[in-house]
Chain A
């Protein structure tokens, strides 16, 4: 190559190397800080079915939009700069357009990088988020009315949302039918949030990390212990009549 050879002293070489390293450091800390900050907004994003957990997803998604174009209902969008999700990643707004839970899940095989897990083949196993009654005070059912819309539109009818009968303390002889979400079954499709008839939805889909608490491992729920199961199965003892939601 053509450039005239320049004599370089060792000192010059060291200085140049240090300068290059420091420059990389400066740029790295700037864009690294921005990235860390912006990925925090991911906590609010509803992802397509099969999306890997946040950190893995953000290292895997190439922002190509193939999942968006594969979606037959225009549910998915690519986040733009000012959205509550890292730029260019696929999200959906359950209130506007919920996931229709296609049987063949076309968005997943469209993903070229595996950011949407190809092992997801049954849409009922998807975990896009979890429905949460965010405002008990504005839920019509919890006010004693028979709205029931979230219960009725749920694709996993009677499993992901059940109506639990409670006494209405305001009028002692009427019941409240409380919609109760069962996280084991809820896929986070957003049909309930979309259908909720109040001005602002009383039920919303939250990403799993936001929606779920976690009990420490040392707590033992007696109905989940082997002993309780034995007791329940035992022939000699009277059956324990345990009220519990259906579980997977």
Chain B
């Protein structure tokens, strides 16, 4: 009988070690929410604003590059503060990888991970095939439309921003969007939101084409074909070439910028095939 996903790694390394990246990510995501909540709830102003734009200790500005790009395409040249903020954020993601935003920062990730986990637990295979390119199409549209009508468009409906605002400024109707995304991922499309639709993730993927931190299948010859990494990976198409195409001379480094550096493949691998590595292309 097939063992539960990741149980081999748990037997090999212990419960905690086999979840180390997952735990670190949940800590990172919670910490970010907490930092933004400390101000409004307890009056401790470490961070002001939200993920779109914020200030740290009222001095260091941070701005989201995708939101910033939408402003630019809508014809607004933002103040120096926003430009500095975007530069800092871009430099950060150059080091940690663009889509690290998706798995370590974005609040939606907890919902989509929950949906994916429930799917695996309950053995739900329902999946409607929509192309992963769709997110690039939506990304293009969210930059093209502002160019034409000079209004920032995606931020009217961007669930990522909406949830973030809802958490910091009061939940309002934000939970409706969470339900919608959960249902999509749970029963309609596998990894539907993050893997197919979200233009924010697509944007961070494009940024992440150049990045230093990557997951590498350093011990790929040790792979015992258990398939656990494919099962937990939110973008499983990035795994196969570096893992399996050694004969074709493919590098063991996961260079595909769809990889979110979430590290779940490292967690669930009993023979320790994967590692986080620092490497340029």
Interface residues of chain A, those whose CB is within 8 Å of chain B, are: 1-3, 20, 23-24, 27-28, 31-32, 34-36, 38-39, 55-56, 58-66, 68-70, 77-78, 80-82, 86-88, 110-115, 118
Contact = CB atoms under 8 A, between A and B. Distances in A.
Interface of B: 39-40, 48-50, 52-55, 61, 63-64, 67-68, 71, 74-79, 81-82, 85, 133-134, 137-138, 140-142, 144-146, 148-157, 161-162, 165-166, 168-170, 172-174, 176, 240-242, 245, 248, 250, 255-256
A214 to B, nearest CB: 23
A60 B71 CA distance: 6
Nearest 3 Cβ contacts at the A-B interface: A2-B241, A59-B74, A64-B53
A1 B79 CA distance: 39
A31 B155 contact: no
7 contacts: A34-B156, A35-B153, A63-B50, A63-B67, A69-B49, A113-B53, A114-B77
B85 A80 contact: no
B216 to A, nearest CB: 14
A111 B78 CA distance: 10
Nearest to B47: A69
Contacts of B150: 55, 58-59
B54 A66 contact: yes
B255 A1 contact: yes
Contact of A31 (B67, B74, B142): B142
B82 A32 contact: no
A112 B155 contact: no
A3 B242 CA distance: 10
Contacts of B63: 62, 64, 112-113
A65 B169 contact: yes
B154 to A, nearest CB: 7
A55 B75 CA distance: 10
Contacts of B166: 80
Kindly name the residue among A31, A56, A77 whose own CB sees the greatest number of chain B CB atoms within 10 A: A31
A37 B48 CA distance: 31
Contacts of A118: 79
A83 to B, nearest CB: 9
A230 B81 CA distance: 49
Nearest to A64: B53
Contacts of B151: 35-36, 39, 55, 58-59
Given A58-B151, A69-B40, A3 B241 contact: yes
A112 B82 contact: yes
Nearest to B63: A112
B68 A62 contact: yes
A69 B39 CA distance: 9
A113 B79 contact: yes
Nearest to A90: B169
A27 B137 contact: yes
A225 B28 CA distance: 67
Contacts of B176: 81
Contacts of A80: 166, 170, 172-174
B76 A60 contact: yes
Contact of A77 (B40, B149, B169): B169
Contacts of A64: 49-50, 52-54, 63
Nearest to A23: B137
A77 B77 CA distance: 24
B53 A62 contact: yes
A86 B156 contact: yes
Given A38-B156, A78-B169, 6 more contacts: A23-B137, A24-B144, A58-B74, A62-B152, A64-B52, A113-B78
Contact of B141 (A27, A36, A86): A27
Contacts of A82: 173
Contacts of A115: 76
Contacts of A77: 169
Kindly name the residue among B39, B63, B157, B242 whose own CB sees the greatest number of chain A CB atoms within 10 A: B157
A32 B149 contact: yes
Contact of B173 (A31, A81, A111): A81
A235 B130 CA distance: 84
A38 B149 CA distance: 13
Nearest to B54: A64
B47 to A, nearest CB: 10
